[in-house]
Each structure stands twice: as structure tokens, then as C-alpha cells.
Structure 1
Amino acid sequence: MTEPLRHPRLLLSGAAGCALLASSAVSVMVAVGPERALISHLVEGTVVALAWVALVVVCVFRQRRAGVPLGMAAAWSVSAASGGWALLGWPFAIAGAWVSVTTWAIGVGVSYTLGVLEAARWSTPRVLSVLATASALTMAFAFATLPTITVEQGDARPNPLALPLSPSLSAIGIAATAAVSFAAIATLVLGATSPARRRSTWPVVTAAILGLAGIAAGAVANQWAPLVQSLTVPLLPLAIAVTVWGSMSPGIRTANAKLDGAADPASALTATLTEIRHDLGLAGLAIEIADDVVVRVGETGEHRIPLVHLGRIEGHLIAPPLDEDAAIEVKRVGPSIAAVLASARLIEEVRRSRAELAVAREEERRRVRRDLHDEVGPLLSAVVVQSDVASLALERDPERSRRSIAGVRAAAGGAVVALRRIVRDLHPVAVDALGLVGALEELAARLSGTTSVRVSVTPLPPLPAAVEVALYRIAAEATGNAVRHAAPATVHIDLSVKRAVITLTVSDDGTGFEPDRVTPGVGLESVRQRAAELNGTLSIHSDGAGTDVRADIPLESGGDAA
């Protein structure tokens, strides 16, 4: 991707200074009249200077390089301001005319060489840039040392810096600048290998050719030169400004349209990458999520571009090295791709959550069925058997009958206890009867024996029923696991609220285990799902010194209650 523009304020300050110089030339035009200003090329210099200033502003706002445009704006604005000084006939008018013609030569020479190459925001031959600078400086030096300096039409004065070879040197400079200009234009045309490049190239190529034609026509038909050049020379910076400001390319608009509301994210992403690849002329593109390539079109490179949606990196776009134009276009479509990836991720998370809930619900049903079959079933069977024995022995052996009836009572009592436990496991009645804190204390008392279970609770705000039940379930599962499997001396249940998040921690000093190597049971997965349903998290840390189970659940009502 493109790097952030350096020193944008400095660039804008430079553009403002150039605009002030050009404004001084406008004042001169008002003072001397439009006809005189046009004939003396003051109108041309002022309009071109303002066009380059506009390009600098556009480049800054579009985060594009603006060094060469600012240099052009400076050359043309200095040419216009100093030309206006000479036109007014103020002291040192000849010096003003000399500065004006020299900076005009620099402006023309660099505009149609380096300025044209500036429109090619992909790699261009470095030797061409060197030749462009050399030819422009040669032409400027030749113009600065011509035998005479023209203050305005019909007022040519001797140049104190004249050199004998300057006429020949100026011809060489003009020819070299023209050759490099057409080489730069050819570079643009040959580099326009994709639809996106062609859209940004042809306006600049057309404007450059028209500008060069205007300058050449001015040399042939001198009476029309000021008007023709005033109309054609400003076209180059304006054309570059239009392409820099630009609008989203048709290919990118089509890609965004395919992504918006896509029913099938996979096919939409494939179609989008195909569209972008064709529009930007790339070898290939791919989308990578968590080191896995999910969509690939063509042969990709190793350039990774983050795809960010709402501050979260959803994946990476894998592409070959991108030029500035391609990077800008990819940056425009990146958020839409990231949004589709986020939607696909959320859909998958919902699908997975539903599957996990279905599994947990079925496991809970199996557990209830097993408990009823293994605990309540035998007890009720014992009631039936003991009742039959009692009825048969009622007359022959009253004592045996009494023992059978006592067995019936014990079996029925056991069945009642088992049913109450099963019902309590299905819904913690203790939370409704005692509140969350009381239920945790009752849980601690029930599980204490060889293990000491302690409860520590800071003052709590009123909690939603779903949060209370989830916290109780998590505490019961974690504490029960610790007592049954870890042989701890002490288990601590801590409950606190801070910054609108309630935290439950169950810690023990038992044998511990390795969480990565142990497959979570149904109970642990169930409480983890309970925390997730409330937008909370469940974490487990265990080592040889014990185990810590921590649940963090956000509350809808904020504030600390510590």
C-alpha cells in the first residue's frame, strides 16, 4: 500500500506561497490591461502557475507525492510575478524579465518531462528522469544567456549575461527537451497495460501533446502564441489533477456492487478478485484467513494487505507488488472485502454455536435420562418389589412385612432425593430461594468435607437472572471438578465487579492438569457456552500448583461495585 504523505502542511504552505505570487501577477494584469498582459505571456504564466498549485492541493488531499508539482508551481509563479514586475517598468525591470524567462524555461522544460513522468505512478526508467532534468536545465541556462532579454513585445534589451554559444545551446536544449518529452509520453503509453492505467494515462498524454503543440505553434505563428499557449499549456497540470482526484474505477465499482449484500460470500469474493485483477492488470490475487488461502485467482505474489473491518483484521489480501494507482484502487475495495469476510465469519460462528448448543442439549438430555435410569429407576423398582413382598408376607409374617414397608419407605425417600437433585441440576432452585451469594455459600457447604470450599464476594449490583444462573453453573462445575478430580486442600470462589464486568474466579491448590492436552467434558463446554451466550469469556489456567477458572461477563449497567 502507499505510504502516508510526508509533511503535508509544508506542501500546502508552499502551494499557498505560490498562489500569493500568482495573485500578484493578477494584480499586474488588472493594472496593465488584459491585452497587454496576454501579449506579454503574463496570462499564460499566471494561469499555468495556478493550475500547478491546484495539482499540489489535490495531491496532498489524495495522499500523493507532490514534490515535482510544487516545484512546477514555484517556477511558474516566480515567472509570472517577475514578469509582472518587468511589465510595470519598475526598477530592475530587466532583472525581473531575466528571472521570468529563465524560470519559464525551467517550467516548460520540467513540466513536459518530469511533470509527464509524475503522472506515471508506477516505476519508470531512472535514466529518463536524469535526462529530463539535464535537458530542462540546459534549456534554462541557454535562455538565461541569450543576447537579448524581451521585457515585453517590441522591448528587447541587451543581456549582460549573454554568451556567444547560447543561441546554439538553446536550440540543443529545446531539441533535447522535446525528445525527452516525447520519450516520457511514450513511457506513459507503453506502461498503460491495464484498464485502470489507461484511464489515468490518456488524459495526461492528450494534454501533454496539446501543450507541446501549443508551444510549437507559438513559435511558428507568433501573433497567436500568447492565446494558444494560455489555453493549452495549463491542460497538463489540470489533466494530472483530474486523474489524481479521480473517481472509483468501473471495475472497482462493479466489485463493490457484487460484494454488497452478497448471498454467497465465496462466489462473490472470487468474482470480485477476478474483476480487480483484470481492471488493474495484475498477475493474480488471493484472500488469506488465519494463514489459509480461501480464495485465489491467478498467480499471486507475497505482498500482504490487511483487510480491516471495525478495527478487526479479518484477513489479508495477497497480491504482487502494487504501483501507486493499483494500491489506491485496492485500498478503496478493501473495506468491502473485509465486511464480507466479517459477515462470513459471523455466519460461521452462529452455525457453530447452534451446533454446539444442539450437542450440549442432547448431552444434557442423555445425562438426565441416565440419572433417571441409573438412580430413580432402581429405587422405584425396589418400591414395587418391596410392596409385593409386604403384601405377600402381611398375614404369614407381619415382621417381615414391616421390614418390607420400611424398605419401601427408604426406596421412595431415595427416589425423592434423586429427583430433587436432578431437578436442581436442571435449574438451580437455590439461586431463586437464596440469591446468588447464598446459593454459592450453600454450594460451598455441600461440597466441603476433606476439601475446604470458601466463598468471597464483594458488594454486587442487581444482576440479571441469566447472569446469576450462568455464574452459579460455572462455579458449581468448576468447584465440583476440583473437589472430585484435583484432591485440593482448599477451593476459593471469588466474585467481584469492576468497570461493568463481573468476574468469577474458582481457584484450587490441587494437582492441576494441562488444559491443552485434556479434551473438555460436556460440563465444561456447557459453562463455556453459557459465558459466550452472555458475551463473556471463560479461561482456564492450570499447573502443578493448582487450577484457576475465570469467567468475565459484561453487565448492561456500568459502574464499579468494588
Structure 2
Amino acid sequence: MARGRVTLADGAFFVSVLLAGVAVGGGLVVRLNGDDAVASYLLSNLVIGLSAAPCGYLVARAKPEHPIGWLFLGLGIAPLVSAAIAPLVIGGQDAGWPEPVMRAIVTVFSFAWGWGVFFCLPLALQLFPTGSPLSPRWRALGWLTFATALIGTTSTGPTPEYGASSYLVSPWWEWGEAAAGLLAPIVVFLSLAALAVRYKRGDETVRQQLQWLLAAVVLALVINVPSWFSLPTGREILLLLSFALIPTAVTIAVLRYRLFDVRLALSRVLVYGTLTGIVVLAYSAIVAVLNLVLTAAGAPILAALAVALGFNPLRLRVQRRVEQALYGARRDPVQAVSAVGQHLAGEDLSTMLDALREALRLPYASLVGTDGQRLTSGQPDGEVQRLALLHAGESQGSLEIGVRRGERQLSHADQTILDLLSGPLAVALHATRLSRQLRASRDHVLTAAAEERNRLHRELHDSLGPTLTGAALKADGTALAARTNPQKAEQLATQLADQLREAIDDVRQLVYGLRPPALDQLGLIGALRRQCDELGPVSLKVHAPDSLPELSPDVEVAAYRIASEALTNVVRHSTARSAVVSLATDTRSLSLTVADDGNPVAAWRPGVGLRSMHTRAAEVGGSCDAGPTPHGGLVTAVLPLGVEP
């Protein structure tokens, strides 16, 4: 089916080229001059046909299922048929051909061209750019367009200037012509209204396609501005030349709407179109006023000087307004940065991204942190550029910007504004990361405090509580026995003293679990050396510098607990005869290793001790590795000198 449609498109384009050749050749044969070519509509039909047919051919071959291509082929072939017939009308009239032949030629000449202008072109506008009506209700407009074209092409009056009249001349042709004249503006208005509604409802793709057509229409209007005021500029030629802009723009919109940023072209067209209209109006008004007080020769000169003096300031102002509508505040970095900066104070940076997109009319913006977290506004559509965000020489993430459709990269003005924003954005990302870390640290502290309270609760309930309860009962028993059985009272008092000593030991163990007293008395190095002296028959040594930098209490306790657990494991579970505890520091961390010379064994099975060492290291933001080596067991811990908030 697709191949058949492509072949049909090839054939239709060949017919259009053949008809154009017949029209040009026939004009040369009958020796048409310029006035005759214009009067017979040969020139206008050729220009319309040769503008529309190639564009329709390109669309029909690339997208055979799209009706726009076929409608533009029809828009090209219909006037080309009339153009090919025009030399026959003139030549047959001069040669005195028979009336039936001339009537048949005039019938084709009058009937063909209207289907392109009155049917194919309005229907193409109604279906552009998607190829389907806005909704089922809008299909009625298509039928109205067909009816208008049918009435207009069949309601032809007598044409004695051609030497014969069409076979379609009827007694009611004047009524039909009036009806067509009434319906045609309605069809045109509703077709334009359909484009406006489609632009309002459409997505970004549809809107950019419609902007191509808008740019062509505005440019055509600008080209024909002089004809509005009846200035001698050859307005027919300008009108014909400007018509080619419409099918060209539609073809680009359907096939290559991302060819370049149509908004740039549209902004220039709007600027100079507005200026052209203002200049013509101002010139005419000044000439009219000055003619009342000066001679006719002096008024145009003064009017031209006044317009020339006011042109450039007016151009700058209009251009600024148009570019602000299309590109936002990119030509005013202070305004753009101020608009975005108002949203940097809060914790939610997504509103800042919305403000950035609004300020520069960007389709997409995203902040990506070093931890992979992403904040996004809009959807990428095309190229995406990345801008690194640095604070104090360190990367805080990146800013991703979606390039506008039709652009391959951001403009210098865009880049300048983004460079100005990169510093505050990096600071905002850094502050956001610190805020998250602070919240995580606070949550960790609260969790640790709750766990510690639960541990103390269990310890007090399970050990100290029963001991003190038993001691209270012993004290009551001692008091009763003292009156009747002093020997029994003495025995109970001895047991009471033993239970109280156990309670003291339990309290001491609780305090020791919170922070070993040896750390406060001897420091980390001294406490580890005492630990080595107290543990069994294995030779244990500590290698450490004379002094350590100031450590946070949490890091000091974690290092002591990890080393104590590792030494206990050496004594209890290994065949080692010696072990060495080594301490070293750099500018940011404390390194702790416990190495023994025990026989190598298989991988250590994780137990309570190993999990405890990993947990204590992780709690202060460090790491811990433990396992066998060819030379014995090895425990390595790297802890920060201070715990970051």
C-alpha cells in the first residue's frame, strides 16, 4: 500500500511538471506578452502550482499516510491545469476554433483552478499539522469547504472575452456566485480559528509546527505591506512570490520542524513586520500633516527624516518585547538572576528550577546532586547540556538544561546567565546536602539514645533490679533475726553485703559500657596498653605515636571497643602467640590495625563480635574490615578524627 502511494505521488508530480511545461510552451507558441500572461492568470496559476506541487510531493513521498501532501499536490495540479489550458483559450480564440471546442476548453479553464484555492488549501489548514480534524464536530467544516468549492467552481457566468462561455453557465449563476462569495470568508475564518484552537490545545511539538506556518504568514503580510496602501511596488508580483512561503513552511513543519529554532525567525519577522507597518503609517501620516503647511516637495523629505530618526529606537524597543516573549529575560542577566535567586532561599529547589525555565523559556531543567538525587522541571526534548556546579573547589553536582527545539546548543546569552547562577546553585546544593546530613545525624542520635535507654532498661531490670530486690528481702530478714537469732542475723548480713557488692559491680559494668574509665584516666593509647597487659598469655603490644590528635569521644570509644574486641578474639579463638595493635593518623582519619601471627584459617564466620566492630565503625562514619590473611588474622578500621554533623 505504501509503495503504491509513493508511485501515485511520483505520477502526480510528473503530471504537475508536464502541465507546467505545457503552460510555458503554449504561452511561447501563442506569443503571450507579460500583460496577457497576467490577464489570463497564466502567471498566477503557474506560481501557485509550482509552489504547492513540489512541497506536496515531498510530503506525500515521505509520509504517504499524511493527507497534507496529497492536498498540496491537488493545490498544485488544479491551477496548473488552468495554466496549461490558458494558451489554448487565447490561441483558439485567435484561430477561430469551433464553438463546442472553445466552450469545452473554457469549461476546464474555469472549473479546475478553484478546487485548489477553495478546497485543497482551506482543508489543508484545517488538518495541519497532524493530518486529522480537531474533533469529529470539526468534520462539518470540511464538508462546508467542499460545498463552497463546488458552488464556486460551478457558478460561472458568461465569458465573452474568451470567445465562448463555459458549459456550466446556468440561469442562477449569480445566486451561486453570491453564495460562494459569502461562504468563502466564513470557511477561511473557521480554518484559521481551527489553527488557533489547535495551537492552544496542542503540545510543544504541535505548537512549534504551527509556528512555522505563522512565521510564513507574517512574512507574507510583511512583504505585501506596500500593497495595503496602494503604493506602486508591483504588488501582484509580491503577492505571488509570498504565496510560496505557505507550502514551504508547511512542508518544513511536517517533515523537519526541528530544522532550526523557528522562534528566532518568527521574532525577526514580527519585529520587522511591526516596524514596517508603523513606518508606513507614520510616513503617510506625517506627509498628510506636512502637506497642510508645506509644499508637496518638502513634506516627503521631512517625513522621511522624521521616520529615519525614530526608526532605530523603535526597532530596539519592539525587538526587546518580541524576544522577551520568546526567550524570556536572557538579554537581561540581572533580571533573570534576580527572578531565580528569589527561590534559592527555601529548601525546595524545584521551585527554583520552575523559575529558571520560566525566566529563559527553557523546556527542561534538572539539578543532580553528587549522591544521585535529582530534581526535575519539565521534559527534555532534544539536546541536553550539563553545567558542573563547584563550591570551594569541590563538585556539588550538575545542572542539566534542555536546549530549545530547533537549537543545537544554548546561546551565549543563556550561558552567561547560567554561569552567574552556577555559584549560588552550588552553594544551595551544598547547604541542602548539609541539611540532609544534619537531619540524618539527628535521627541517628535520637535512635542511638533510644537504643541506649532500652539497653539500660534491660540491664537494670534483668541484673540490678533482682539483686536489689533480694538485698531488700535480706535486710528485712536480718532485722527480724537480730531479735531472736543473732547468729542467723549475722549470716544474713554477710549475704546482704555480698549482694550489695554484686549490685556495685553491676553498676560499674553499666558505667563501663557507656565509657570505659581508663580512657579518661590514661587516654586511648594507655588504655589499650593496660588492656594488653590484662589479657592472658598471648604477647600483646601497642605501636603508636607519642601522642594522637584530639579525637571526638565517640571515635575514641569506638577505637577502644574495636581494638578490645579484636584482642579478645585473638586470645580466645586463635592459635596466635603474639599480636600487635597499631595506631596511625593523617589529617582526616585514625587508622587502627590489630594483626596476629596465628595459623591461617578459612573465612571468619560473622558473629556478635564481628558485627559489633562493624557497627561501631559505621556509627561514627568509618569502616572496618576483618578476616584471615596468609600471615594470620587482621582487623583494620579507619575512623574519622571527628564525627561530621
> How does the TM-score come out when normalised to structure 1?
0.47
Structure number with bigger Rg: 2
Asked which structure has the greater RCO (Cα within 8 Å, sep 6+), the reply is 1
> How does the TM-score come out when normalised to structure 2?
0.41
